[in-house]
Structure 1
Amino acid sequence: MLTRWLSLVFFLSGFAALIYQVVWQRLLTLYYGVGAISMALIVSIYMAGLGLGSLCGGRLAEKVKNKILLYFVVELAIGCFGLVSLPFLKFLGQHTAGSSYALTFAYMSAFLLIPTIFMGITLPVLVKIFNHVIRNFSQTISFLYFVNTIGAAFGAIFTSYVIISFWGLDTAIYVAVFINFVLAGIIFTSRRMPASIDMEKQKPAVAAVSQTGSGTVPVVAYALVFVTGFLAIGYEILWFRVVGVLVKASPYAFSTILFIYLLGIALGSRLMGKIFKRNIPDKMNLFLLIQFLIGSSVLSIFLFYYYLTSKTPLQLLTHISFSLQSHPTIVTPDFASFGQNLFANLYAMTDIFLWPMVFVFLPTLLMGASFPLITWLALGSSDQEGKAVGNVYFFNILGNVLGGLVTGFVFLAHWGTEITVMVFIAVGVLFGCFVKSIGSRQLPAYFRGSVVVVLLIVMLSFFPKKGELYQLMHEAYCKDAQTFLEEGEDSLVVTCEHEGSIYNFVNGTTQGGRPGYRFHAHAIETASFAPHAQRALVIGYGTGSVTEVALKMPGMKKVTIVELSKSLMKNLEKMPVFQGLLADPRLEIVLDDGRRFLLRNQDKYDIVFLVCIKAHSSYANNLYSKEFFELVGRHLTPQGVLLAWTDERSVTPKTIAAAFKHVRLYAQIRKEVFCIAGNSPLIQNLPAIKSILEGFTPAEQISINYSLFQFSADESAIARKSALYPINEDWKPVSEYYLGLEFKKHLISSRMR
């Protein structure tokens, strides 16, 4: 009975832990930005806390007599911190937002280390408790790792698809807190179960044969787990980059890829538990074989994808995914029309799961089998299982932290995806040199060496060269075009130029394009409400159409561009058209997160342009929340105006109207709209439009066609039209996590019929 309760507890503990991870990571970006350095700091600190916790947990598990009570205290502490985490982070963020990265590291550590250390304590303590009951270490570690990881997998997917989408980030935290408190209650009650009382009274029994020390020098096991941890997180970063290009910057991409990643690891751990039931004389040999298979499987997957996509009709799958703007795409449940395009509709709703399954599932299945195996190999003494698990988990996470930093900031920045994947594959394949046997069959050294050499030759000969993988993914737009590609730690940028047209993609998502006449028109209309502007702020450069208008405004003295992607600016600077646009001495280019930039300075602007940010993109709510628009308002001069482009017509305009006294909404033939907002009455100066247009050629003036948009509503009309819809707030990212909004729109539409 105790083991069943503890299994449920550990499943829900993993579920709650991933709620915290998804939400806390999201909330920290509100104050410290979504740039590559900020994101790396968040992940590194989170992982470091788990590692330190596991190290502490391993020692506590061996020293504390009442381990059930210890586990109760840990779960209760996590819940208590979760309960105060929202007001604590809000207070911390309001007083430290926009700090230098050194100080940001300290503030993030102050927030994340305490709860993550407690989270890290749980596995070694529960292993000690569980193993006392079933007295089989190999089964204990494989089963508990499976239970906790499968809970984490479902926690990741449920958090984004359900809780955040329908109720927001704050509700997600309170759900996790509720789970922690319920678990604490279950654990506290279970201390009176017979097995718990027996554990407190008895001394450790003589271990079964299956849990005696492995004979492996622990240092060797720790070195191996460090290397495999390095590779595991490195692969994860690469998969996020590759799959992210196919499913765009969807807010559901992170949790979906993480779900498949954790699902594979969980099932692999469970599979190893079944393998442990057999008599495997050389477990180190099995561990080395698994590492070889991981490298071989990654090689096979990438080669199959590349050549099947480039040489067969299966390329259609990549083209469809790349053309979809939302992942998953919501298809209206009209069964008559749905059936006519059954495959296309089902694919649009499920491709966000397909691509992680293709790239991620098989290798992570093998990775999951590795952890319980290496933990068994690190067990030096049968009565020190908690300490062994804590040490292994610590070195695994140490490898994770270093692997994440090196892969993101060194390998991707200098080598790119293709070469980095090849290096990781090579390391995995080289483990094959030390695999002495498969089953009962011995493998001669010359045979092992030959297999490894052949695989390395195949990889070097057929693996896509630098940039070729992403050129293939962008082929639907960039075929027969001159293609410029730049990959860095922050993003992948592909810009294609063909017959005078420029298509620009950042991590697979369209960012601007030239000629951008409709963007010119947006900016010119906005400029007519600030005809005497001298300072402008452009958040998101795109392909420069808005910046071009700002520089043509009479009297403009300085235009500050805040662009998140360093790789974007490097890529555009390769093209002559942008070299000229970016050479204007009035330009100031700042590589930073737009919100973080405003939080860390007090400058005022006559006009602020916010363009080309899709409302349903990941982290878009940082720039579409009421709090952000209020922040922009504080940086406007008394007569200053804001241009905010959006592809969402209900929630975003209402949010802007909640932050500004005066708003004008313009509708277009396309889905997108834009708003002009300010805190002073919006008075248009029509001669200003003519003055700006004179800076363009006659042909360009004709093309800047005002028929593409028209004034649609002011703040009062916006309030009436969107009365049934909520607004975006920092803790309620309604339009970003759009599944809940789409459901609400369907309900509203049904009522109006």
Structure 2
Amino acid sequence: MHQRPIAPLQYALFAAFAFSGFSGLIYEAIWTNYLKFFLGHAAYAQALVLAMYMGGMAGGAWLAGRYMDRVKKPLLAYAAVEIAIGLSGLFFHKIFLSANTFVFDSVIPGVQAPLAVELIRWCFAGILILPQTLLLGATFPLMSVGILRAFPKTPGSSISMLYFTNSIGAVAGVLTSGFILVKAVGLPGTIMTAALINVVLAIAVYGIHGKLTQSSHVPQASVASTPLLRPMLVVALITGLSSFIYEISWIRMLSVVLGASTHAFELMLSSFILGLALGGLWLRKRIDNYKEPLVALGVIQLLMGLFALSTVLGYNELMKFMSALFRGLQPTEAGYLMFNSSSHLLSMFVMLPTTFMAGMTLPLITLVLFRGGAGESAIGRVYAFNTLGAIMGVILASMVLLPLTGLKNAIIIGAALDMVLAVYLLGRGSAHRKWQFAAVIVMIVSAIGTYIAPAFDAKWMSSSIFRMGNKNSLDDLEVLMHRDGRTATVDVTRKNGMLVIGTNGKPDASYMSTKGVAPTADEPTQVMLGALPLLISPHAKTAAMIGMGAGMSADVLLASDQLTRLDIVEIESAMVDGAKLFGKASSRVFSDPRSHIHIDDAKSFFSAHKSRYDLVISEPSDSWVSGVSNLFTTEFYQRMLRHLSRDGVLVQWVPTYGNTPILVSSVMRALGDNFSDYRIYGSTNGVMVIVAKVEGQLPELSARGLENPALAAAMARVGWTSINDVHKHEIGRREFLHPAFTLSGAPVNSDFFPYVDQNALRARIVGGNYNHVTSLHMSGVPLPGVNYMGTVIESDNELTSYYSPRKQSEQGRAAARYLAGGARTAMPSQSVYGMLTVLQTKPACEDAVAQAGWRAELQSLAAMTLPNISEAEAKPMIAYLRSQLCASSQAETNRSLLDLMEALSTRNPIAVESAARKIVDTDKIETGSKDYALNALFLSLYQQQKWEAIQQLVSELPRSHSFLAAVVASHAHMNLQKK
């Protein structure tokens, strides 16, 4: 009987196992996303998924190895396992939703002890993925034995090739899921894609099995007769432990340089696995020729340790290199591609040398046992002990080594373990005693040398390399605290009196400790987060705050004399220690008996305590940070509704800098779907503070809070001395803004379709349009029901020299008086004084360039003054400006602009429409002035409810214009739809 060629079938099995790795890493990546909803932080989810993934793989491999002698057709068993994995993946999302509801709504609310709550969360999270990981663990020994029985001549080569194909598939899986699948089909669709791949794999392997002539089961040598078994299993365990100490430590190290985004983690993970794959590939053609594989294994373990130590020694220089690289990035699509490519290359540069060596260890250990007569069961046992070591490495690194010894020492400990293994392996034979002695000397010298070498430069680690390329000088920077916590590395620095607290190199909050110096750019936001809820709900009794930051917002909130309890929920204890260094800015947090700090995830805290609050204040980090976008999802807002009283108010910080309009709209749609009313305030340019009410309409701001001296003092620090000063920061209200968010085309941000998480990093690199919502103040027209928000004012003399709507309002009124012949006081801004000087100089009537320059300053004046002054104040100013006109045709457009200013000052929409159309319809005016007139035209049509005219105007525009135009157009669309 003619036998079919078998080599192509062997390669077909290798290809199938590559797809098995592809789907397996999709599971690992997606499980991390799912389980962070259980555990509250991506770092915890990553640690648990790694531990459970490896633990289940170990258990599955152990069981498969234990019973391998009884498996007569391992490839058929492999196909059955793949079918089971696929079926479990198809139903995972529904099972998760049911378990999530059961745990947080039924189990945790009945448990009082915090430790018990932790155990419940972690146990349920583990149970959700344990069955699938056990099955995944069985795939490697089953496929390996199936191939070895069919192709027994080169066992070492086959095993190396299996490690390579499975690992290279895993690299493709983590990148494809992270950058393509989740964005396209969400978490449920991605995990179902992996499940379908498993089903197809099972069918393919079943077909290949039918074409192979496999030997029937051959009894293997007794495991008990193999003296090397136990030592080699211990070696497999320790090398797995050290490898995952490296992985956890490297991820933390590189997060400081590359940012702690979801995509950064995926790039790091893929780099780690790529090294394992390449190591297995390199070994494939060499392994069967090794006469003494133990010696080769010893040399490899020694090199692993040395390469790992090199990542410590080169880290400071690496940060400087990446700083220079990131400074050259352009805010374009090409720049974003460059950022990701550079991040991947950097991750490979750090990880590849060590993981390349690690990729050779398991094939060599397996070969040693095969030659020693351990038989097929050795495959499963080696794999099991290695993955068991990986679990130990994950737990040891994340829970013990990083918090207690720090990053540098954690890596040194991992390297020491590898080099101890090298010493042991090289000493197995008497002929290699000299090698063993040399390895001891190398181990001692390299470990001690690395330990006494300069520590990681805390100044560089705290300098936000990945955000700004460290453009700021570090010469005068003082690091007050640098601590590797369980979830993040936390720094507190001081420079020129400014205190900054940051996580993984990203500044989160700042405070100016020097008296008489302007507050930092962060302080208005920090004060507003604490003050706004007290001005909205002055009688609030209970409050919860998600996130500690510098403790300043909580300190302001505790200024209330009505508040009886404040629960501060912070997941990283190092942040609490850092906040203590902010002195009086956070003193109430640590001295006031009403303040209670909880180191916990917000979701589990709220579920366990079953409390309802009058106020919940959420001040998360930037939305591109892994896990943070979960605080901007519709599921988060739904949970908050269960923990707010009927009159409860949610206050949340939302960054718009580095964001795109569609990302902001995605968040606002999620919030608007769950809260009956909201209002948006702009604390600074590019930052929104949202106030949302559970039921009914939000009340107006109450001045009662300012009667409290402590609250008044906190607000005065950032230039707010009256309730009107806070009013001027209002951007808009739900009834005016929400139609624009709804019709923006943005999907609702969701836990399972994480639109913001998937796109926020790209927006930050490319350069998001932060003027999306906050640009309403730049429209320069007096909006109905919206308080005018000012722009940045340059001043060397005022404490409120940063972004200050109150200062802008005062300056607008002063400019109007100045031109009307009133008080000729010096203007606080040189740029404004220059504008007024130009307007007081009559341009040459026949000089078109001079007329255009005068008109440009006139439009700037209109935007500054008209939203801030009354008709009576505007009248003499406009009269003076008319006197500067001449009869020349060159001044026609200037006269038209003054007509528009006069109409706007009277707040007469009919007059505004007429004047604005005259400007919009002319070709003799610059883009800036025409855009200003378009804003006025849109506003006037909105006030007159001329929906058809608005729609017609939009259709005639060659391009999109301001956010104001988008808001008005959305109202027109919705009203016409009703008709």
TM-score by length of 2: 0.69
CA gap 1:602/1:719 in 2 versus in 1, 3 angstroms: farther
Residue 134 of structure 1 corresponds to which residue in structure 2? 151
CA gap 1:570/1:701 in 2 versus in 1, 3 angstroms: closer
Report SS of the residue matched to 1:191: helix
CA gap 1:739/1:580 in 2 versus in 1, 3 angstroms: closer
Contact 1:490 1:567 in 2 (8 A): no
Q: Is 1:115 matched up with 2:122?
A: no
1:3-39 CA-partner distances (Å, limit 9, x unpaired): 2322222111111111111112211221332286665
Report SS of the residue matched to 2:667: helix
Residue 267 of structure 1 corresponds to which residue in structure 2? 278
Out of 25-34 and 288-297, give the one that drifted further: 25-34
* Matching of residues 396-415 of structure 1 within 5 Å: 396-415=386-405
Q: How far off is 1:359 after superposition?
A: 1.5
Out of 168-177 and 450-459, give the one that drifted further: 450-459
Residue 374 of structure 1 corresponds to which residue in structure 2? 365
Residue 25 of structure 1 corresponds to which residue in structure 2? 32
Higher relative contact order (CA 8 A, sep 6+): 1
1:587 aligned to which of 591, 595, 598:
595
Cα distance in 2 between the residues matched to 1:441 and 1:503: 55
Residue 124 of structure 1 corresponds to which residue in structure 2? 141
Q: Is 1:630 matched up with 2:638?
A: yes
Out of 665-674 and 73-82, give the one that drifted further: 665-674
Q: How far off is 1:318 after superposition?
A: 3.2
5+ residue gaps in structure 2?
A: 1-7, 109-116, 513-522, 657-663, 773-956, 962-979
* Matching of residues 135-534 of structure 1 within 5 Å: 135=152, 136-193=154-211, 195=212, 198-199=213-214, 202=216, 204=218, 217-277=228-288, 279-306=289-316, 308=317, 315=320, 317-318=322-323, 331-333=331-333, 347-379=338-370, 384-385=375-376, 387-431=377-421, 433=423, 435=426, 443=434, 447-464=438-455, 470=461, 476=472, 479-483=475-479, 484-515=481-512, 516-534=523-541
Equivalent AA in structure 2 for residue 142 of structure 1: S
Equivalent AA in structure 2 for residue 150 of structure 1: I
Contact 1:250 1:617 in 2 (8 A): yes
Q: How far off is 1:732 after superposition?
A: 0.8
CA gap 1:455/1:576 in 2 versus in 1, 3 angstroms: same
1:227-253 CA-partner distances (Å, limit 9, x unpaired): 111101111111111011112220112
5+ residue gaps in structure 1?
A: 339-343
Contact 1:666 1:713 in 2 (8 A): no
Out of 152-161 and 677-686, give the one that drifted further: 677-686
Contact 2:229 2:369 in 1 (8 A): yes
Out of 145-154 and 475-484, give the one that drifted further: 475-484
Out of 113-122 and 675-684, give the one that drifted further: 675-684
Report SS of the residue matched to 2:596: strand
Cα distance in 2 between the residues matched to 1:72 and 1:26: 28
2:702 aligned to which of 657, 681, 686:
686
Contact 2:244 2:393 in 1 (8 A): yes
Report SS of the residue matched to 1:533: coil
Report SS of the residue matched to 1:736: helix
Cα distance in 2 between the residues matched to 1:586 and 1:508: 32
Cα distance in 2 between the residues matched to 1:132 and 1:750: 70
Answer with 1 or 2: which has the greater Rg: 2
Cα distance in 2 between the residues matched to 1:583 and 1:35: 31
CA gap 1:503/1:384 in 2 versus in 1, 3 angstroms: same
Contact 1:595 1:622 in 2 (8 A): no
Equivalent AA in structure 2 for residue 53 of structure 1: G
Out of 627-636 and 641-650, give the one that drifted further: 641-650
CA gap 1:579/1:750 in 2 versus in 1, 3 angstroms: farther
Q: How far off is 1:444 after superposition?
A: 5.7
Q: How far off is 1:392 after superposition?
A: 0.3
Cα distance in 2 between the residues matched to 1:470 and 1:262: 26
Contact 1:11 1:151 in 2 (8 A): yes
Cα distance in 2 between the residues matched to 1:384 and 1:717: 70
Cα distance in 1 between the residues matched to 2:314 and 2:958: 45
Q: Is 1:2 matched up with 2:9?
A: yes
Out of 477-486 and 639-648, give the one that drifted further: 477-486
Cα distance in 2 between the residues matched to 1:299 and 1:388: 31
Report SS of the residue matched to 1:726: coil
Residue 695 of structure 1 corresponds to which residue in structure 2? 711
Q: How far off is 1:700 after superposition?
A: 3.9
Q: How far off is 1:319 after superposition?
A: 6.5
What is the percent sequence identity of the aligned residues? 23
CA gap 1:505/1:708 in 2 versus in 1, 3 angstroms: farther
Cα distance in 2 between the residues matched to 1:254 and 1:445: 38
Residue 730 of structure 1 corresponds to which residue in structure 2? 751
Contact 1:633 1:678 in 2 (8 A): no
Report SS of the residue matched to 1:600: helix
Cα distance in 1 between the residues matched to 2:49 and 2:443: 38
Report SS of the residue matched to 1:415: helix
Equivalent AA in structure 1 for residue 72 of structure 2: K
CA gap 1:725/1:444 in 2 versus in 1, 3 angstroms: closer
* Matching of residues 711-730 of structure 1 within 5 Å: 711-715=731-735, 717-723=737-743, 724-730=745-751
Out of 535-544 and 577-586, give the one that drifted further: 577-586
Report SS of the residue matched to 2:354: helix
CA RMSD of aligned residues (A): 3.4
